[in-house]
C-alpha cells in the first residue's frame, strides 16, 4: 500500500509538471507545423527535402507531447460506461494489425457482462500499449494472450495482457511504470506507455500491476471496479433525434 501511495504521489507531481509543459509545447508545435505547411508551397524542389526532415522531427515531437498530455490529463477524462468484453473484442483487428506474423494473439474473454466506467479512448490506448510492449519483448516471435474476466476482488474486472517474451529483471520492473523510463534506447521508446496504462487504471478507479520474471515472460494486469450502471442503448434513430430539436 505504501508503495502504491508513493507511486501515485510521484505520478501526480510529474503529471502536473509535464502537463503544463506539454500543453504549451503542443501549441508551439502546432504553430510551427502550420508555418511549415505554408512554407512548403513556396520552396523549390531542393528545399523540400530539408522541409520533409524537419516535418518528420516535428511530427514525432507532436506525438510525444500528445502522449504526455494524455498521461497527465487526469481531469479531462470522459468517463463512459462500456462493456469491457465488447470493447476488447472491437479492438481485435487493430491489435492483429499491430503485431508481426511471428506473433500469435489469443483471446480469453469471459462471457459475462463486465460494465466499467472508463474513458474508451484511453482504454484502447492502454491495451494497445500493452500489446506493443509484449511485441517488443518478443523479437523472435511468441504468443500474446489478451484476457478479461471478473477479478479476484468482488465487483471488479481484470484485463490481463501476457506474453512469452524476455520478461523483466527486478530493477526494470521496479521502474517500469515511471514516466520516461525505457530500456528501448533513444528514438525507440518514450517510456510513457506503461505510465499511461497506470494513469488509465487510476483515473478509472482501478490499479495496474506487473508480474514478470526474466525468461518467463510478462503479465500486466489492470483491475477495474465494475459499475452498476448499464452501457447506454444505441443512439436513437435520426428521425427521433430530429424531433427533439424543436
How far from the centroid of its chain's Cα atoms is residue 110's Cα?
Answer: 22
Give the cell for residue 155: 465487483
By CB under 6 A, the count of residues binding ligand ADP is 23
Judging by DSSP bridges, how do beta strands 103-109 and 142-150 pair with one another?
parallel
Q: For ligand ADP, which is the closer residue by CB, 142 or 151?
A: 142
Region of 96 on the Ramachandran plot (φ > 0 left; ψ -120 to 50 alpha; else beta): alpha
Shortest Cβ distance from residue 61 to ligand ADP (Å)?
15
Burial 69-96 (b: 16+ CB within 10 A, else e): bbbbbeeebeebebbbbebbeebeeebe
Contact in structure between 84 and 225 (CB atoms under 8 Å) = no
Residues 128-167 that bind ligand ADP (CB under 6 A): 129, 133-134, 137, 163, 165-167
- Which of 70, 122, 190, 204 is the binder for ligand ADP (CB under 6 A)? 190
- Which of 115, 120, 191, 225 is the binder for ligand ADP (CB under 6 A)? 191
Q: For ligand ADP, which is the closer residue by CB, 157 or 221?
A: 221
Binding of residue 68 to ligand ADP (CB under 6 A): no
Residues making contact with ligand ADP (CB under 6 A):
129, 133-134, 137, 163, 165-168, 172, 176, 181-184, 189-195, 218
Amino acid at each position: 500500500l505504501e508503495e502504491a501511495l508513493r507511486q501515485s504521489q510521484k505520478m501526480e507531481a510529474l503529471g502536473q509538471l509535464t502537463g503544463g509543459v506539454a500543453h504549451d509545447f503542443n501549441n508551439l508545435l502546432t504553430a510551427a507545423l502550420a508555418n511549415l505547411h505554408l512554407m512548403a508551397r513556396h520552396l523549390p524542389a531542393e528545399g523540400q527535402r530539408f522541409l520533409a526532415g524537419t516535418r518528420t522531427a516535428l511530427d514525432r515531437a507532436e506525438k510525444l507531447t500528445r502522449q504526455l498530455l494524455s498521461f497527465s490529463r487526469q481531469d479531462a477524462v470522459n468517463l463512459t460506461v462500456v462493456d469491457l468484453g465488447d470493447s476488447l473484442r472491437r479492438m481485435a483487428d487493430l491489435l492483429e494489425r499491430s503485431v508481426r506474423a511471428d506473433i500469435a494473439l489469443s483471446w480469453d474473454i469471459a462471457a459475462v457482462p463486465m460494465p466499467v466506467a472508463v474513458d474508451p479512448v484511453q482504454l484502447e490506448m492502454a491495451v494497445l500499449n500493452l500489446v506493443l510492449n509484449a511485441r517488443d519483448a518478443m523479437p523472435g516471435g511468441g504468443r500474446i494472450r489478451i484476457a478479461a474476466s471478473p477479478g479476484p476482488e468482488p465487483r471488479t474486472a481484470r484485463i490481463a495482457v501476457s506474453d512469452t517474451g524476455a520478461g523483466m529483471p527486478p530493477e526494470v520492473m521496479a521502474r517500469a511504470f515511471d514516466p520516461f523510463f525505457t530500456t528501448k534506447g533513444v528514438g525507440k521508446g518514450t517510456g510513457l506507455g506503461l505510465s499511461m496504462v497506470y494513469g488509465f487504471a487510476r483515473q478509472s478507479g482501478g490499479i495496474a500491476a506487473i508480474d514478470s520474471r526474466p525468461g518467463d515472460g510478462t503479465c500486466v494486469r489492470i483491475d477495474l471496479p465494475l459499475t452498476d450502471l448499464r452501457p447506454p442503448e444505441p443512439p436513437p434513430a435520426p428521425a427521433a433525434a430530429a424531433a427533439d430539436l424543436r
